[in-house]
Structure 1
Amino acid sequence: MSLEVSQVTKIYGSQKALDQISFSAKPGRILGFLGPNGAGKSTTMKIICGYLPADSGAVTVLGMDALSHPKKVSPKIGYLPEHNPLYLDMYVGEFLEFAGGMYGLRGRELRNRVEEMLDKTGLRPEQHKKISQLSKGYRQRVGLAKALIHDPDVVILDEPTTGLDPNQLVEIRALIREIAVNRTVILSTHIMQEVEAICQDVVIISQGKIKISDTLASLKSGAVQAELTLETEEELDLTWFEALGAVSFGAKGKREIRIQTTTPAETRKEIMKVIQMKALNLNSLNQQSKGLEQIFREITQGN
């Protein structure tokens, strides 16, 4: 693992922002870091990057102690914060040269990295514009280029696709996949479609505690994949369907039931057997698939 967070706790006054959180990330995979507002995502990322100290626990980046030696570890990390800090009066190319210089890049190496970032992030046509003249989407690209300018081993992106139009979104997703081939990438976002589109691993944090740390495939396959909603003209008895899984009455009272299932096709067949056996008049039988967004809501419900 190139990144290990172990039993990290952070307390602000009487509030425990992080409560002994642990997770890991490795190269070649994109980790989606999810949680409601105030869950502790930004605090976690700032601790990993060395911007905040932890009260207890350990963070290891590329085998180095990030809490004891933040100045040594920080250059190994590229960080795009949610509120993208940019110097608006600087030109795009000028700003990237400045950012690279802050990481010790000089001469031809610096020029080559700036040219590479202009091409990779699609900023080439905008390089002679002031950042203040750019749209929000292009400012996000500048922030992403800044995070990558020094060729870091670990990349942490906080809401990187905010403000992008659909075409830009496809391009930035492709770039994130490209940089993750030989790097460790953590993607924090509120957009569940982003996680499902490009992430392989998922960490869900709520109220300062890790609720889930798993692969996306395992999380989705282990969860209920669909909810069937049955409506009839007659009142229904839950006991008729209890062998089919989790059953509850729906919005229309006893004439509607909801059945959660991992095998919707088989469950529909069994429901129709009950309909025939009880001589019920069927109004509707609808299926709604269960995605990451619903899983997220259930895990963080009430937080």
Structure 2
Amino acid sequence: MSISVNKLSKHYDKQKAVDSISFEAKPGRILGFLGPNGAGKSTTMRMLTGYVEPTSGEAEISNKNIITQPIEAKKLIGYLPENTPLYTDMYVKEFLNFVGQTYELKNLPARIDEVIKLVGLTPEQHKKIGMLSKGYRQRVGLAQAIIHNPEVLILDEPTSGLDPNQLVDIRALIKELGKNKTVVISTHIMQEVEAICDDIIIINKGKIVANDSLEGIKKTYQQNSLEDIFRKLTA
């Protein structure tokens, strides 16, 4: 299992942002982590990536415990946070070189060229990040997430703010990456999940209320509309 989560919780005073959730994510499948705003999606993503310490419970990335083995676990993760923090004064290649150096990558110039081509940044590669459109900045975010060829990709609202053409391109890229990696996408956009996800978790008020394959969840609730199922479980 690339991701294994057991009774993971995060409390802020008396508020249970995430309340004892358990799940697994497998290689070669894309997991959609769905929930309304404030349900605990981003908090879960931050715990999985080691940016927020859990109140209790455990999370492992390819058998590396994110709490007790944070350095080893983080090397296996590519993370695209919502509103990716990018250095807008840096050129695209300069930024990717900076990120690559933190991972001590060998043959870094060749890897940068490879990643730029993979995410479709070739036309913009010589520009400063601050000059890029929202869609191309998101591609830079994806490029930094995959530059070290991680086993696990965790993407928080990866298509936020993209236009329809950019949506199609980024979704296709995520599907391609998902063929040989474990990919978790946090989103509240149903069409996103329908388009690219194999498995679905729905979280509401910090608790998992559904965990199944896309086909399985539709069969269980005898609904073809994921949106109707989502509304039923999170109302």
Does structure 1 residue 136 correspond to structure 2 residue 138? no
Alignment partners' CA distance in 2, 1:146 and 1:173: 17
- The equivalences for 1:1-303 within 5 A come to 1-106=1-106, 109-225=107-223, 290-301=224-235
Query: Would you say the 8 A contact 2:6–2:21 is kept in 1?
Result: yes
Runs of 4+ in 1 over 3 A off after TM superposition: none
Does the aligned pair in 1 maintain the 2:9–2:19 contact within 8 Å?
Answer: yes
Residue type matched to 1:79 in 2? Y
How big is each residue's C-alpha offset from its partner over 1:15-42, in whole Å with a ceiling of 9 and x where there is no partner?
Answer: 1111110111000000000011111111
TM superposition score normalised by structure 1: 0.76
TM-score (norm 2): 0.97
Matches of 2:33 and 2:97, distance apart in 1: 30
Greater Rg, structure 1 or structure 2? 1
Q: Hey, what's the Cα distance between the residues in 2 that align with 1:182 and 1:105?
A: 20
C-alpha separation between the residues in 2 aligned to 1:30 and 1:191? Answer: 15
> Structure 2 counterpart of 1:160, which letter?
P
Kindly report the root-mean-square deviation, in angstroms, between the aligned alpha carbons of the 2 structures: 1.1
Gaps of 5+ in 2: none
* Larger mean Cα displacement after TM superposition, 52-61 or 197-206: 52-61
Report the Cα offset of residue 44 of structure 1. 0.7
Q: Which residue of 2 aligns with 1:279?
A: none
- Percent sequence identity over aligned pairs: 59
Letter in 2 for 1:135: S
Give, in angstroms, the shift of residue 224 of structure 1: 2.9
Equivalenced residue count is 235
Instruction: Report deviation, 1:104.
Output: 1.2
Please give the alpha-carbon distance, in whole angstroms, between the structure 2 residues aligned to 1:111 and 1:164: 29
Q: Which has the higher contact order (CA 8 A, sep 6+)?
A: 2
Deviations 1:121-171 (A, max 9, x none): 111110111111111111111101110111000000011112222222222
Q: Which runs of 5+ in 1 are unaligned?
A: 226-289
Distance in 2 between the 1:147 and 1:64 partners? 19
